[in-house]
């Protein structure tokens, strides 16, 4: 998907161990940068939630907790945009096959809400063809 | 009563008010422990009126929501009543997006929730 050229003011491109704690360090730095750039708290909350959920999906469902696998995180911050790309080393999945967790008959199912929350809190979300890489963008909330 | 590592409990009449020790409920291991402690309240301690007060919680992941859904099911099986209160707006938004605000009985504050049992 084509993307507009952005003036990135911060970037973190790294491969982390297949452990949520390792990803949280990158997330904390991103949130710190967003706060320093005076992003609205609702935006910061949404980015935090989306990245937490995407990391869990990559580590648990993509890499299946395999300690030999890695997760590639590419986070960038522009004055009006956050872009996060998270890629695991798993087989990928087809996001269109995820059932809607808000269907009344699925409402009591304890799993399957992460992808929905990512889409709700981020401005744009897309996956690569294999389904092992997600790109999430958040535009700054208009004052 | 065995100790609870993730929860603080307080009895108000016949209602057990539960507060969370974690500000952020995201770590997988913490969520597993939290689930076990919540389920123990119902299954081992046989508490049939539970109020979860979220005043200390400022972040909740979808895995934690899963534990709350399972707790709700267990409460129903045991004929108990579960209510939630003091949920900050960002977290309430998560409940609303996932339509779990229809599954759970959510009150603004503890007094409202206690009065509703």
- ipTM at complex level: 0.91
Strand partners, A139: A81
Binning chain A into helix, strand and coil, the percentages to the nearest 5 are: 35, 25, 40
**E strand intervals along A4-140:** 10-17, 70-77, 81-87, 124-127, 133-139
Contact A53 B62 (CB under 8 A): yes
Name which residue leads in pLDDT, A118 or A6.
Answer: A118
A65-103 pLDDT, tens digit each: 999 999 999 999 999 999 999 999 999 999 989 999 999
A60 in reach of chain B (CB within 8 A) = yes
Taking the C-alpha atoms of residue A48 and residue A55, their distance in angstroms, rounded to an integer, is 11
Instruction: Tell which of A110, A114, A115, A117 to mutate to test the B interface (max B CBs under 10 Å).
Output: A110
Q: What does the pLDDT read at residue A4?
A: 61
Residue A32 has pLDDT above 90, yes or no: yes
* Number of domains within chain A: 1
CATH number at residue B79: 3.30.750.24
| Range of lowest pLDDT (A24-28, A42-46, A103-107) | A103-107
Of B28, B62, B90, the CB nearest to A20: B28
Residue A15 has pLDDT above 70, yes or no: yes
- pLDDT grade, residue A13 (50/70/90)? very high
Of A48, A107, A110, the CB nearest to B59: A48
Does residue B1 lie in a domain region?
no
Q: What are phi and psi of B18, to 5 degrees?
A: -110, 125
Q: Give the pLDDT mean for A97-118.
A: 90
Q: Give the pLDDT mean for A108-134.
A: 94
Does residue B94 lie in a domain region?
yes
Does residue A37 lie in a domain region?
yes
Q: What does the pLDDT read at residue A21?
A: 84
Q: How many CA atoms lie within 13 A of A4 on its CB side?
A: 9
- Residue A140 DSSP label: P
Percent of chain A with pLDDT over 70: 97
Task: Give the DSSP letter string of B41-92.
Answer: HHHTS---EEEEE-TT--EE-HHHHHHHHHHHHHHHHTT-EEEEE---HHHH
Q: What is the domain extent for residue A39? A: 10-139
B114 in reach of chain A (CB within 8 A) = no
CATH number at residue A21: 3.30.565.10
Angle, alpha carbons A32-A35-A40 (nearest 5°): 140
Q: What does the pLDDT read at residue B46?
A: 93
B99 in reach of chain A (CB within 8 A) = yes
Does residue A73 lie in a domain region?
yes
* Number of domains within chain B: 1
Does residue A3 lie in a domain region?
no
Taking the C-alpha atoms of residue B11 and residue A101, their distance in angstroms, rounded to an integer, is 34
Does residue A26 lie in a domain region?
yes
End-to-end CA distance of chain B: 24
Mean pLDDT by 10 residues, chain B (117 residues): 87 97 91 96 95 96 94 95 97 96 97 97
A40-62 pLDDT, tens digit each: 999 999 999 999 999 999 999 99
Q: What is the domain extent for residue B48? A: 7-115
Does residue B42 lie in a domain region?
yes
Q: Which residue of B has its CA nearest to A44?
A: B90
Taking the C-alpha atoms of residue A135 and residue A54, their distance in angstroms, rounded to an integer, is 10
Does residue A118 lie in a domain region?
yes
Of B39, B51, B37, B54, nearest to B94 by C-alpha is: B54
Residues of B in contact with A109 (CB under 8 A): 69
Q: What does the pLDDT read at residue A112?
A: 84
Does residue B2 lie in a domain region?
no
């Amino acid at each position: 998907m084509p993307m507009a050229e952005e003036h990135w003011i911060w970037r973190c491109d790294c491969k982390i161990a297949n452990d949520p704690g390792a990803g949280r360090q990158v997330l904390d730095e991103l949130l710190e940068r967003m706060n320093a750039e005076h992003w609205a708290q609702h935006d910061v909350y949404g980015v935090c939630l989306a990245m937490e959920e995407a990391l869990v999906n990559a580590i648990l469902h993509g890499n299946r907790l395999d300690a030999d696998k890695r997760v590639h995180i590419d986070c960038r911050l522009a004055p009006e945009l956050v872009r996060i790309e998270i890629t695991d080393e798993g087989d990928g999945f087809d996001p269109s096959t995820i059932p809607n967790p808000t269907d009344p008959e699925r409402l009591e199912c304890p799993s399957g809400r992460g992808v929905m929350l990512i889409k709700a809190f981020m401005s744009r979300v897309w996956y690569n063809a294999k389904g092992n890489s997600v790109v999430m963008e958040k535009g700054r909330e208009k004052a | 009563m065995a100790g609870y590592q993730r929860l603080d409990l307080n009895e108000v009449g016949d209602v057990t008010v539960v507060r969370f020790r974690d500000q952020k409920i995201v770590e997988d291991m913490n969520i597993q422990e939290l689930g076990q402690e919540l389920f123990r309240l119902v299954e081992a301690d046989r508490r049939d009126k539970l109020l979860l007060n979220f005043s200390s919680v400022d972040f909740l992941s979808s895995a934690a929501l899963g534990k709350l859904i399972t707790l709700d099911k267990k409460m129903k099986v045991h004929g108990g009543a579960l209510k939630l209160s003091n949920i900050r707006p960002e977290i309430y938004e998560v409940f609303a997006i996932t339509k779990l605000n229809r599954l759970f009985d959510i009150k603004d504050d503890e007094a409202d929730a206690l009065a509703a049992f």
